[in-house]
Chains A and B, each alone.
Chain A
Amino acid sequence: MSNFLLDLSFGVKRSDGYVSDIWRASTTRLGDFHLATSSIAGTEEYRFNKSGMCRSAHSGADAAPEALRDRAGFRWRRAATPPRGSGGAARVAWIAFPTDYLSRPTVADDGEIFWIAAAPEGGATYVEFAYAAEPEENIRGVLDIMQDRTLVRCAALPNGETLVIFCYHADWDNKDLRVPGGSIADDVLFSADDPLASGRPLRHRFGPAPKDEEAVMLLEMGGAAITN
Chain B
Amino acid sequence: MPALHSSRACPVTVGVRRIIHVDMDAFYASVEQRDDPALRGRPVAVGGQPGSRGVVAASSYEARAFGVRSAMPMARAVRLCPDLLIVRPDFARYRAASQRILEIFRSCTPLVEPLSLDEAYLDVSENLWNEPLATAVAKRLKRRIRDEIGLTASAGVAPNKFLAKIASGWQKPDGLTVISPGRVEAFLQQLPVDALWGVGPVTAGKLRKIGIERLVQVRSADPARLQRAVGSLAEALRRLAYGDDPRPVVPDRPYKSSSNENTYDEDLLATDAIRAEIERMARQSAAWLTRKALLARTVTIKVRYADFTTVTRSHTTATPTRNADEIAARALTLLERTEAGRRPIRLLGAGVHGLAGNETAIGIPGVLNFEE
A interface, CB within 8 angstroms of B: 78-79, 82, 86-92, 94, 96, 119-120, 122-124, 126, 130, 132, 134, 138-139, 141-142, 145-149, 164, 166, 168-173, 211, 213-215, 217, 219
Asked if B125 and A148 sit within 8 Å, CB to CB, the answer is yes
14 residue pairs bridging A and B, Cβ less than 8 Å apart:
A91-B10, A96-B180, A96-B182, A120-B136, A122-B136, A142-B2, A146-B4, A168-B16, A170-B159, A170-B181, A171-B133, A173-B177, A211-B9, A214-B10
Most chain A CB within a 10 A radius of its CB, from B1, B3, B7, B133: B7
Partner of A172, one of B159, B177, B180, B185: B180
Q: A79-B8, A122-B135, A148-B16 are in contact. Are A172 and B3 (CB under 8 A)?
A: no
List A contacts of B125 (CB < 8 A).
148
List B contacts of A86 (CB < 8 A).
2
Q: A146-B14, A170-B16, A213-B7 are in contact. Are A120 and B2 (CB under 8 A)?
A: no
List A contacts of B16 (CB < 8 A).
126, 148-149, 168, 170
- Is B342 in the interface zone, CB < 8 Å from A? no
How many angstroms between the C-alpha atoms of A164 and B180 in the bound complex? 22
How many angstroms between the C-alpha atoms of A227 and B10 in the bound complex? 38
Asked if B7 and A78 sit within 8 Å, CB to CB, the answer is yes
Among residues 155 to 176 in chain B, which have CB atoms less than 8 Å away from a CB atom of chain A? 157, 159
Q: Which 8 A-B pairs have the closest CB atoms?
A: A79-B7, A173-B178, A87-B2, A96-B182, A91-B6, A146-B15, A213-B8, A214-B9
Asked if A139 and B2 sit within 8 Å, CB to CB, the answer is yes
B interface, CB within 8 angstroms of A: 1-10, 13-16, 18, 125, 132-136, 157, 159, 177-183, 185
Asked if A145 and B7 sit within 8 Å, CB to CB, the answer is no
Residue of B nearest to A80 (CB): B7
How many angstroms between the C-alpha atoms of A67 and B290 in the bound complex? 76
Residue of B nearest to A90 (CB): B7
Asked if A87 and B3 sit within 8 Å, CB to CB, the answer is yes
List B contacts of A217 (CB < 8 A).
10, 182, 185
List B contacts of A169 (CB < 8 A).
132-133
Residue of A nearest to B134 (CB): A171
Asked if A126 and B181 sit within 8 Å, CB to CB, the answer is yes
List B contacts of A91 (CB < 8 A).
4-7, 10, 13
List A contacts of B181 (CB < 8 A).
96, 126, 170
Residue of B nearest to A145 (CB): B1
List B contacts of A211 (CB < 8 A).
9
Residue of B nearest to A139 (CB): B2
Asked if A171 and B178 sit within 8 Å, CB to CB, the answer is yes
Given A120-B133, A132-B2, 9 more A-B residue pairs with CB atoms under 8 Å apart are A92-B7, A96-B180, A96-B182, A120-B132, A126-B181, A138-B2, A142-B3, A145-B15, A171-B135
Asked if B4 and A142 sit within 8 Å, CB to CB, the answer is yes
List A contacts of B159 (CB < 8 A).
170
How many angstroms between the C-alpha atoms of A120 and B14 in the bound complex? 22
List A contacts of B179 (CB < 8 A).
171, 173
Asked if B7 and A138 sit within 8 Å, CB to CB, the answer is no
List A contacts of B5 (CB < 8 A).
82, 88-91
List B contacts of A87 (CB < 8 A).
1-3
How many angstroms between the C-alpha atoms of A145 and B2 in the bound complex? 11
List B contacts of A89 (CB < 8 A).
2, 4-5
How many angstroms between the C-alpha atoms of A82 and B8 in the bound complex? 12
Q: A124-B182, A172-B178, A211-B9 are in contact. Are A130 and B4 (CB under 8 A)?
A: yes
How many angstroms between the C-alpha atoms of A116 and B133 in the bound complex? 17
List A contacts of B7 (CB < 8 A).
78-79, 90-92, 213-215
Residue of A nearest to B189 (CB): A208
List B contacts of A138 (CB < 8 A).
1-2
How many angstroms between the C-alpha atoms of A139 and B3 in the bound complex? 8
Most chain B CB within a 10 A radius of its CB, from A164, A168, A217: A217
How many angstroms between the C-alpha atoms of A126 and B184 in the bound complex? 14
List A contacts of B180 (CB < 8 A).
96, 124, 170-173
Residue of A nearest to B158 (CB): A171
How many angstroms between the C-alpha atoms of A169 and B15 in the bound complex? 11
How many angstroms between the C-alpha atoms of A61 and B118 in the bound complex? 56
Residue of B nearest to A133 (CB): B2
How many angstroms between the C-alpha atoms of A91 and B6 in the bound complex? 5
